Amino acid sequence: MDKDSDIHRQDWKTILSHSIQSPQEAAVFKEAHDPRLSEVVKRYPMRINPYFLSLCESRGEPLKRQVFPDAAELDDESGWTDPLAEDRDSPVSHLTHRYPDRVLFLVSNQCAVYCRYCTRKRKIGHWPHVKDEVIEAGVRYIAAHPEIKDVLLSGGDPLLLEDERLDWILSEIRSIRHVEIIRIGTRVPGVLPHRVTRELVRVLKRHHPLFMNVHFNHPDEITDEVRRACRRLADSGISLGSQTVLLRGINDDERILDVLFRQLLTMRIRPYYLLQADLTRGTGHFRTCIESGMRIMKRLRGRISGLAVPYYMIDLPGGGGKVPLLPSYIESLDPVQIVVKNFQDRLYTCPQPVPGPPEENSQNDVL
C-alpha cells in the first residue's frame, strides 16, 4: 500500500498531528542535515503536514521551498518583524482596523503548514491559543462600530479551528446587524484538503453571504483532493477568490502564473490578488523586484481571460494599506484625445467625447 493512499484514509486532525517540525525528519531532502537549520526553526518554527510533505517529495522544489527552512532566513537583516504595523493598528488584541469599513480579525493561531515567507512569521508557531475572551472582545469592538460592514477572518488559519468553534465565531459576528459580509482567508483547501469535510461545509453554509480567499502559489499545489475540496466549497455557495504571493524562483514567471490562474478558474476560484512579498525579516530570499511583477502583469493581460487576471498589490510598509500596482497603458492624455498602448505595445488614438475644459460640478472629471 503506498503512503499516499494511507494519508487519504485518515482524518485531518490525525494527518496534522503527524506533521514534521524539524528538518532532520525530512531526511529525503539533502539540505536536511545542514546544522544551521536547527537554529532557523528555533527562531521560526517549521510545520509540514504529511500530505504536503509527500507532495513536496513527488513534485519538488516549488512546493518544498515554500515550507522547508532555509539558512538564508537567519542572514536576512532587511525588513521588519511586523512590516504592516498590524499590532500598532490593533484597537483590541488580534483585530486590525485600518480601512474604515472592514477589519482583519486573527481568530486562529494554527496553520496546516508554516510558509517560510509568511508576513506573520513573528507569530506563527509561537503565539498562544486565541482565547474566548479575545474573540469576545473583538466581537464587542465590531458591534460597537457600525461603520464595519466586512469582517475578514484570518490567523493563522481559521479553518484549523474545530467546527463548533468556527460556528460559534461566525454566529457571533453574524448576529451583528451592520456586518454585511464575512470573509475567510485560508490556505487549508490547498495544503490540507481533507479538512474540507461535509460537516465543515454545513457549518459554513449557515453564515452566508460568505466569501473565501484561498491561498495558492503554484499549479503543482493542485491535486484531485484539492479540486474535490474546492468543488465542495463552491457547491455550497461560497464565493471563492485566490491570493498568490509572488515568490522569487517559485512563481515569478508569467508562464507558471498563467497555468495557475487558469486552473483556479476551472475550480470556480477567481484570482483576486497577486501580492508583492512583504518586507518581513527573514524572507528576503523570496522577494522579487517590483519591475518583475509589473512585467508579469503586463504579459498576463494579453495572454489570459480577464477573469483570470488578479490585481498586483503592494501592502505598504508601516501600515499604509494595500495599493494596486498597475502597468500604465496611457501614452498621453489631453482634452482632445487619449493615446493608449495595447497589450501588443501598438499605439491607438481615441478622441475624447467632449473637447474643451472640464464641465463644472461633474463628479467624473479627474483632470
Ligand X SMILES: *Cc1c(COP(=O)(O)O)cnc(C)c1O
List of residues contacting ligand SF4 (CB under 6 A): 111, 114-115, 118, 120, 124, 155-157, 187
CA–CA distances in Å: residue 310 to residues 209, 261, 305, 326: 22, 9, 11, 11
Residue 96 binding ligand X, by CB under 6 A: yes
Residues 77 and 281: beta-carbon distance below 8 Å: yes
Judged by beta carbon distances under 5 to 8 A according to partner kind, the member of ligand X, ligand SF4, none in contact with residue 104 is: ligand X
Work out how close the CB of 337 gets to ligand X at its nearest, in angstroms, rounded to a whole number: 33
Q: Which is nearer to ligand X, 94 or 102 (CB)?
A: 102
- Which one of 47, 65, 102, 298 is the catalytic residue? 102
- Respond yes or no: is residue 82 known to be catalytic: no
CB-based contacts of 192: which residues, under 8 Å, 6+ apart?
A: 12, 15, 16, 49, 51, 52, 112, 113
Q: Which three cell numbers stand for residue 215?
A: 491561498
Closer to ligand SF4 by CB, 120 or 287: give it. Answer: 120
DSSP tally for the chain: helices H, then strands E? 13, 12
By a kind-dependent CB cut-off of 5 to 8 A, residue 152 interacts, out of ligand SF4, ligand X, none, with ligand X
Q: Considering the complex, state which of residue 104 and residue 304 has its C-beta at the smaller distance from ligand SF4.
A: 104
Q: Give residue for cell 498602448.
A: 341
User: Which residue's CB atom is positioned nearest to ligand X?
Assistant: 104
Instruction: Please give the Cα distance from 100 to 260 (Å, whole number).
Output: 33
Binding segment for ligand X among 64-72, 93-101, 125-133, 171-179 (CB under 6 A)? 93-101
Residue ranges in 186-225 that form contacts with ligand X under rule CB under 6 A: none
Q: Which of 9, 42, 99, 289 is catalytic?
A: 99
Other C-beta atoms closer than 10 Å to the C-beta of 269 total: 23
Which does residue 115 touch among ligand X, ligand SF4, none (CB within 5 to 8 A, set by kind)?
ligand SF4
SS3 at position 153: strand
Strands (E), 147-268: 150-154, 181-186, 210-215, 239-245
Residue numbers annotated as active site = 98-99, 102, 111, 115, 118, 120, 278, 315, 322
